[in-house]
Amino acid sequence: MLRHLLKLIWKRKSRNMMLSLEILLAFLVVFAIAAFGLRHYQLYQLPTGHEWRKQWSVSMRAAKDLPNDAAIFDNLGRSLLALPEVEAVAFSWFGTYEMSRWTEEYTLPDGSSQITIDGLGVSDDYFRTMDMKLAAGRWFSRADDGADATPVIVNQLVADKLFPGKNPIGQLYIAKQAGKEAPKRYRVTGVVAQFRAQGELQEPVYMMLPRWIPGVGKETANNIMLKLRPGTPRTFETRLNARLKQVRGDWNYIVTPLPDGRKSMLGTQMIPLTILSVIAAFLLVMVAFGLFGVLWQNTTQRIPEIGLRRALGASAGDIYRQIVAEQMLLSSGAMAVALVLLVQLPLTGVFGENLDWTVFFMASVLSAGVICLLSLLCSLYPGWRAARLSPTQALHYE
């Protein structure tokens, strides 16, 4: 039976070529969307390295650049900790679940292992405020005052890249600078498994959290991170803003509970996937109409052949199964060709971790299921219509 069907498909190869190409392109589109969506799901399952359920973020804005004044930041911290709803206060260059990023190139002191690292300067209390966990080493603190290099917490990616096979704790690396100034030095005090400031759908990046000290250096903190007691209502925002205005009434404050910031960030990051899904759905509808029309036309042109089979004793069920089986074989062949082309992507690693073998296999299975279902649905009615033909009607067809 299979050999007979393959012969029938081969004899109509010129007509089936365009149909196969259409199925192949549809499979590629579905695969791309499936892989993109599965990668998003894969990222969502990874830890972010920080908490968000009880944390609030306060972005500070001034008419000019915020001053790095130790007295101001000390006053802000003490005033906020006096509120009964506040458990911990910390400062950072920018907040989490924001589109802000700060990157720079770094190397080992001998100039090797150059990498680009995302940075986020934070105060000593940041880790307690964000409920972070160490993988190795310790958090920096006032015990690091006067250190010969800036204490820094790095994620595991940085530790593996800069210090492969070594204990990263206590290791030194420097900022790559083109000028004659002495490069800034960083000494690793601790390692976290991961830290993704932009949330669950951010790709893992090389990340460092250098120590920021109020009143020291040019960089200033533009953000306050708060850890609130469980059950704190949203109405607390009014009291919080009033307390901040008491400290610096000439600054503006944007208060964002991290659950809201997370929801907004996820919505923004999902926009490309949503757009691509709509486009893919539209293309699949167009492909479905095309497949249905071609199958209808092919069935009409094959009425004499169908009538001869019926006259030789084939049942209506045999005809029905033949039409459906031919379409499924044609779809399988087109998908096999597409997979031969697509398997080169994870083999060459052109997309890196965005298309690992797990994503590839899951996207292949999902795409194959969608195309098989589409092909089956498009072939059901033409097959049913062909099966209804009586031998007399078919043999008299012109």
Provide the whole-model pTM: 0.82
Cβ-based neighbour number of residue 329 at 10 Å: 17
Digit-coded pLDDT (tens) for 156-167? 999 999 999 999
Q: Percent of the chain having pLDDT more than 70?
A: 82
- Token pair belonging to 172: 């030194």
The dihedral formed by the CA atoms of 135, 138, 140 and 146, expressed in degrees to the nearest 10:
-140
65 DSSP β-pair partners:
none
The reported pLDDT for the residue numbered 318 is: 59
**Is pLDDT above 90 for 22?**
no
User: Out of 70-74, 112-116, 311-315, which region has the weakest mean confidence (pLDDT)?
Assistant: 311-315
* 256 neighbors 56 (Cβ within 8 angstroms): yes
Helix (H) or strand (E) holding 98, with range, is none
Q: Percent of the chain having pLDDT more than 90?
A: 59
d(CA 335, CA 370) in angstroms, rounded, equals: 11
d(CA 329, CA 106) in angstroms, rounded, equals: 55
Residue among 68, 70, 122 at smallest CA distance from 92: 122
Q: How confident is the model at residue 5 (pLDDT cuts 50, 70, 90)?
A: very low
**Is pLDDT above 70 for 23?**
yes
**Is pLDDT above 70 for 77?**
yes
- Token pair belonging to 13: 């190869």
The reported pLDDT for the residue numbered 2 is: 47
- Token pair belonging to 215: 């009143």
Side chain identity, residue 235: T
In DSSP notation, 51-89 reads: --SSEEEEEEE-SSPPP--HHHHHHHHHHHHTSTTEEEE
Beta strand pairing call for 207-210 and 115-119:
parallel
Q: How confident is the model at residue 312 (pLDDT cuts 50, 70, 90)?
A: low
* Residues across the chain: 398
Q: Which residue has the higher pLDDT, 104 or 397?
A: 104
Cβ-based neighbour number of residue 325 at 10 Å: 15
Q: Which residue has the higher pLDDT, 12 or 292?
A: 292
Coil, strand, or helix at residue 373?
A: helix
d(CA 156, CA 46) in angstroms, rounded, equals: 14
Digit-coded pLDDT (tens) for 180-235? 577 899 999 999 999 999 999 999 999 999 999 999 888 899 999 999 999 999 99
**Is pLDDT above 80 for 74?**
yes
Rounded to the nearest 10 degrees, what angle do helices 236-247 and 70-81 cross at? 150
Digit-coded pLDDT (tens) for 118-160? 999 999 999 999 999 999 999 999 999 989 999 999 999 999 9
The reported pLDDT for the residue numbered 6 is: 47
Cβ-based neighbour number of residue 275 at 10 Å: 10
Residue among 195, 252, 162, 182 at smallest CA distance from 52: 195
Q: What Å distances lie between residue 162 and 122, 157, 165, 172, CA to CA?
A: 22, 9, 10, 10
Domain chopping of the chain, boundaries:
2-46+265-395, 63-250
Residue 253 CA, distance from chain mean position: 30
The reported pLDDT for the residue numbered 281 is: 84
Cβ-based neighbour number of residue 64 at 10 Å: 5
The reported pLDDT for the residue numbered 313 is: 55
The reported pLDDT for the residue numbered 12 is: 56
Average pLDDT over the chain, rounded to an integer: 85
- Burial-class residue 168 by CB neighbours within 10 Å (0-12, 13-18, 19+): buried
Digit-coded pLDDT (tens) for 248-307? 999 999 999 999 999 999 999 999 989 988 888 888 888 777 777 766 666 655 555 555
